[in-house]
Amino acid sequence: MFGWGKKEKKEVAKEKLKEEKVMGEKPIITTKMELEKKILNVLKSIFDPEIPVNIFDLGLIYEVNVAEDYQVEIVMTLTAPNCPVAESMPNEVHEKVKAIEGVKDVHIEMTFEPPWDKDMMSEEAQLDLGFL
The pTM (predicted TM-score) of the whole model is 0.74
List the chain domain ranges.
32-128
Name the CA dihedral angle for 114, 39, 122, 76, rounded to a multiple of 10 degrees: -20
Q: Is residue 103 a contact partner of residue 35, using CB atoms and an 8 Å limit?
A: yes
Q: Which CATH number fits domain 32-128: 3.40.50.1220, 3.30.470.20, 3.30.300.130, 3.40.50.150?
A: 3.30.300.130
The bridge status of strand 105-110 relative to strand 71-76 is: parallel
Per-residue pLDDT of the chain (132 residues; tens, 9 = 90+): 444 444 455 565 556 555 555 444 545 556 888 999 999 999 999 998 888 899 999 999 999 999 989 999 999 999 988 888 888 999 999 999 999 999 999 999 999 999 999 999 999 999 988 887
